[in-house]
């Protein structure tokens, strides 16, 4: 298996380096003596046909699968199934494509081919996007994202973030769309992947365009186009067209005409004829609005001519595909003839080599018996090791469950104790102080008594704040949003911090289960206390956003930050408490912080109502 993988890498590397004239001929591929090499070469040839003729590519992929299945070459089966599904997708046979992607996932799981599982999830998601099933597409892309993240595959991880940003925009969850698009930009910037960065800027421009923010949208379209040398030509054409449409909306007709003409030139160079009619139609509109009526009429005539001619070109392309399919079938016949000739040659030499074959078989059988005995011994040892490993895993799992239950119980007892102390402070101490103050107010007023009354008022106020900090009774009598806003206003009072608070939508946030509200309140207490005491920040942004399936808490400051390493997180008692509380309600935390560059904390909690 290792030899086959190495061979696959060598052949694929050679294919990338080789000139077009050195690419494998289909007759040469079928004539290869080794079936594994034949599968690898067929898959390489199938990939080359993607952009030429999907019907031919499909036939080649099916041949590769048939050989892989016959010789039990599992990786070949997985890759062949994926390419068959891809070709069906390009040929618009959607259900067949989905079936083959699902088969790819099932077979890839057997051999743990994580890359092909993730690619298949993404292709099924693409089909769901075309059918406007955005929630299903989000689910599949998040599954693919986890796989790429576990493989540290930054390029595909960036593509997943980009796609999730697009999907959340289509689902009207613009806050999530911005977060995922920003993550894609961060990865592409670190990797210096300018082509992917251009795609991210274009997505960000589309996001701002959806919010009618034309100025910001124009800024990011320009940034995307500034990186056009690193992008594929068809992506540049698409971005130029979108930007030109934005310029028309802004009544910048001269600039729009320039970008539309640039798009026409590039589309003609790369033979992207299907885009030309729409370019000429918008070019005619821009010139008409700009006042060049004669030029506008000429461009509209080109639009009419191209629109009519493309229909005939599509019919000619269909005929060409059919002809290539016949050619591939003829080449298949040639390959079958070659295989028959090889078989005939083997039969003619059979008698002459009979004795040699018997001797070789005897030696092979003897060798296999020896190898089998060794493998059996190793297998027994592996089974014993596996049983030991499973036993240790079960013990570890039981310990983790016990620890989790203990943490939950301690947390609940801690809250009960806090509630009792708060009640004593509020009812006993608070009531006593109020009574003393009332009695003193009955006495003859003099400066000393007045100072004592004022001091008792301050002590009562402090006692009440400590009581509410230990256990907020307002959760029972006021809405959760009001409690949070009051707390934030109080804790950052008398400081130089500039506070920006966003709670949306408040109606959904106020419906959260009381346990979730209390956990969120404790987390906010801990994080805000850290910011106030340690961050040295001048600005704090606080966002609490409710979605359909979860609620996100985003706290950002411009303070001194810290290096978010595992060692730092272990020694930070506040963050440790936050993580332990999140475990109880199945929440997640992400920290984006660097020394002297501020800190952003993302918290995601499943919605429990």
What secondary structure, in 3-state letters, does 270-331 show? Answer: CCCHHHHHHHHHHHHHHHHHHCCHHHHHHHHHHHHHHHHHHHHHHHHHHHHHHHHHHHHHHH
For the chain, the domain total comes to 2
Residues 420 and 446 in one domain: yes
Residues 450 and 508 in one domain: no
Predicted TM-score of the model (pTM): 0.44
- Label each residue of 34-99 as H, E or C: CHHHHHHHHHHHHHHHCCCCHHHHHHHHHHHHHHHHHHCCHHHHHHHHHHHHHHHHHCCCHHHHHH
* Residues 508, 524: Cα–Cα separation, whole Å: 18
591 vs 445 pLDDT, higher one? 591
- Label each residue of 377-426 as H, E or C: HHHHHHHHHHHHHHHHHHHHHHHHHHHHHHHHHHHHHHHHHHHHHHHHHH
With a cut of 60, say whether residue 318 has pLDDT above it: no
Residues 485 and 601 in one domain: yes
Neighbours of 54 (CB within 10 A): 20
Residues 405 and 465 in one domain: yes
To the nearest 10 degrees (0 to 180), the angle between helices 233-249 and 214-226 is: 150
Residues 549 and 489 in one domain: yes
- CB-CB contact of 247 with 259 (8 Å): yes
Q: What is the DSSP letter of 444?
A: P
* Mean pLDDT on 544-562: 89
* Mean pLDDT on 37-63: 83
pLDDT score recorded for residue 572: 74
With a cut of 90, say whether residue 156 has pLDDT above it: no
Q: What is the pLDDT of residues 271-317, one digit of tens each?
A: 777 778 888 888 888 888 888 888 888 888 888 887 776 554 555 45
* Mean pLDDT on 475-479: 71
Assess if residue 589 is contained within a domain: yes
pLDDT score recorded for residue 110: 93
pLDDT score recorded for residue 104: 93
With a cut of 80, say whether residue 64 has pLDDT above it: yes
Residues 422 and 524 in one domain: no
pLDDT band per the 50, 70, 90 thresholds, residue 227 = confident
Question: Residues 6 or more apart from 91 whose CB is under 8 A from it?
Answer: 54, 55, 58
Assess if residue 437 is contained within a domain: yes
Runs of H (alpha helix) within 112-173: 114-130, 134-150, 154-170
Assess if residue 261 is contained within a domain: no
Tokens standing for residue 8:
């696959």
With a cut of 70, say whether residue 597 has pLDDT above it: yes
* Mean pLDDT on 474-497: 81
Assess if residue 385 is contained within a domain: yes
Residues 401 and 515 in one domain: no
* Residues 212, 228: Cα–Cα separation, whole Å: 25
DSSP helix/strand/coil, 203: helix
Least confident segment among 219-233, 358-372, 469-483? 469-483
Tokens standing for residue 247:
């310029």
pLDDT band per the 50, 70, 90 thresholds, residue 565 = low
110 vs 225 pLDDT, higher one? 110
Least confident segment among 103-112, 211-220, 255-264, 412-421? 412-421
pLDDT band per the 50, 70, 90 thresholds, residue 265 = confident
Least confident segment among 197-206, 347-356, 362-371? 347-356
Among 469, 502, 529, give the residue marking a domain's end: 469
Cα angle for residues 490, 492, 497 (degrees, 5° grid): 155
pLDDT score recorded for residue 593: 87
pLDDT score recorded for residue 325: 57
Residues 413 and 489 in one domain: no
- CB-CB contact of 527 with 600 (8 Å): no
Q: Indicate the helix (H) or strand (E) that contains 599.
A: strand 599-606
Among 469, 504, 522, give the residue marking a domain's end: 469
With a cut of 90, say whether residue 81 has pLDDT above it: yes
Assess if residue 144 is contained within a domain: no
With a cut of 50, say whether residue 225 has pLDDT above it: yes
Least confident segment among 43-52, 434-443, 505-514, 520-529? 434-443
Assess if residue 179 is contained within a domain: no
With a cut of 80, say whether residue 6 has pLDDT above it: no
pLDDT score recorded for residue 490: 83
* Closest among 294, 188, 286, 186 to 240, alpha carbons compared: 286
451 vs 547 pLDDT, higher one? 547
Residues 461 and 553 in one domain: no
pLDDT score recorded for residue 311: 53
Q: What is the pLDDT of residues 377-436, one digit of tens each?
A: 777 777 777 767 777 776 766 665 665 565 556 555 565 565 556 555 555 565 677 667
Assess if residue 5 is contained within a domain: no
Ranges 109-123, 277-291, 584-598, most confident? 109-123
pLDDT score recorded for residue 361: 85
Share of the chain above pLDDT 90, in %: 14
Domain of residue 383, residue span: 377-469
Residues 388 and 438 in one domain: yes
Compute the mean pLDDT over every residue in the chain, rounded to the nearest whole number.
Answer: 77
Residues 588 and 564 in one domain: yes
pLDDT score recorded for residue 389: 77
With a cut of 70, say whether residue 170 has pLDDT above it: yes
- CB-CB contact of 229 with 188 (8 Å): no
Q: What is the DSSP letter of 488?
A: H
Q: What is the DSSP letter of 24?
A: P
Question: Residues 6 or more apart from 508 whose CB is under 8 A from it?
Answer: 546
Residues 516 and 597 in one domain: yes
Terminal Cα distance for the chain, rounded: 51
Q: Is 295 exposed, middle or buried (0-12, 13-18, 19+ CB in 10 A)?
A: middle
DSSP helix/strand/coil, 551: strand
Beta bridge partners of 545: 504, 552
pLDDT score recorded for residue 100: 93
* Mean pLDDT on 126-144: 90
Look up the CATH number of the domain holding residue 577: 3.30.565.10
Among 438, 469, 500, give the residue marking a domain's end: 469
* Residues 571, 580: Cα–Cα separation, whole Å: 14
Assess if residue 517 is contained within a domain: yes
């Amino acid at each position: 298996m290792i030899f086959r993988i190495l061979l696959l890498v060598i052949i694929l590397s050679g294919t990338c380096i080789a000139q077009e004239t050195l690419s494998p001929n289909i007759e040469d591929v079928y004539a290869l003596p080794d079936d594994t090499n034949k599968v690898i070469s067929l898959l390489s040839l199938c990939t080359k046909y993607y952009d030429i003729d999907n019907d031919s590519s499909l036939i080649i992929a099916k041949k590769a699968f048939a050989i892989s299945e016959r010789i039990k070459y599992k990786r070949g089966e997985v890759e062949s199934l994926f390419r068959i599904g891809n070709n069906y997708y390009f040929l618009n046979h959607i259900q067949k494509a989905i079936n083959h992607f699902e088969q790819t996932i099932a077979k890839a799981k057997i051999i743990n081919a994580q890359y092909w599982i993730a690619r298949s999830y993404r292709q099924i998601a693409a089909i769901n996007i075309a059918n406007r099933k955005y929630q299903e597409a989000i689910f599949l892309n998040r599954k693919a994202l986890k796989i790429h993240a576990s493989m540290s595959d930054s390029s595909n991880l960036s593509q997943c973030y980009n796609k999730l940003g697009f999907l959340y925009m289509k689902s009207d969850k613009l806050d999530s769309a911005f977060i995922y698009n920003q993550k894609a930009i961060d990865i592409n910037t670190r990797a210096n992947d300018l082509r992917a960065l251009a795609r991210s800027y274009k997505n960000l421009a589309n996001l701002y365009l959806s919010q009618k923010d034309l100025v910001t949208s124009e800024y990011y379209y320009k940034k995307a186009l500034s990186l056009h040398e690193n992008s594929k030509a068809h992506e540049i054409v698409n971005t130029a067209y979108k930007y030109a449409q934005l310029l028309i909306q802004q009544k910048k007709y001269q600039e729009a005409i320039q970008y539309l003409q640039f798009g026409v030139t590039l589309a003609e160079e790369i033979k992207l004829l299907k885009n030309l009619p729409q370019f000429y139609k918008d070019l005619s509109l821009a010139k008409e609005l700009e006042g060049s009526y004669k030029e506008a009429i000429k461009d509209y005539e080109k639009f009419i001519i191209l629109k009519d001619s493309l229909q005939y070109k599509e019919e000619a392309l269909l005929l060409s595909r059919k002809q290539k399919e016949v050619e591939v079938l003829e080449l298949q016949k040639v390959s079958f003839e070659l295989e028959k000739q090889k078989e005939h040659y083997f039969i003619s030499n059979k008698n002459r080599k009979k004795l040699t074959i018997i001797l070789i078989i005897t030696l092979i059988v003897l060798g296999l018996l020896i190898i089998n005995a060794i493998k059996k011994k190793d297998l027994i040892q592996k089974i014993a090791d596996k049983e030991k490993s499973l036993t240790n895993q079960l013990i570890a799992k039981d310990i983790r469950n016990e620890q989790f239950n203990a943490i939950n119980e301690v947390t609940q007892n801690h809250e009960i104790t806090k509630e009792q102390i708060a009640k004593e402070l509020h009812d006993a101490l608070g009531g006593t102080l109020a009574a003393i103050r009332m009695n003193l107010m009955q006495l003859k007023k003099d400066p000393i008594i007045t100072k004592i009354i004022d001091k008792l008022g301050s002590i009562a106020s402090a006692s009440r704040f400590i009581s509410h900090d230990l256990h907020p009774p307002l959760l029972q009598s006021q809405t959760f949003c009001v409690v949070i806003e009051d707390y934030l206003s109080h804790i950052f009072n008398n400081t130089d911090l500039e506070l920006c608070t966003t709670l949306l939508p408040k109606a959904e946030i106020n419906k959260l289960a009381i346990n979730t509200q209390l956990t969120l309140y404790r987390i906010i207490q801990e994080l805000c206390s850290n910011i106030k005491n340690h961050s040295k920040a001048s600005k704090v942004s606080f966002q609490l956003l409710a979605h359909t399936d979860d609620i996100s808490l985003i706290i950002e400051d411009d303070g001194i930050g810290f290096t978010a390493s595992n060692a730092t997180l272990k020694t930070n008692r506040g963050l440790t408490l936050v993580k332990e509380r999140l475990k109880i309600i199945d929440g997640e935390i992400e920290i984006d912080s660097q020394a002297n560059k501020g800190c952003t904390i993302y918290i995601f909690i499943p919605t429990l109502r």
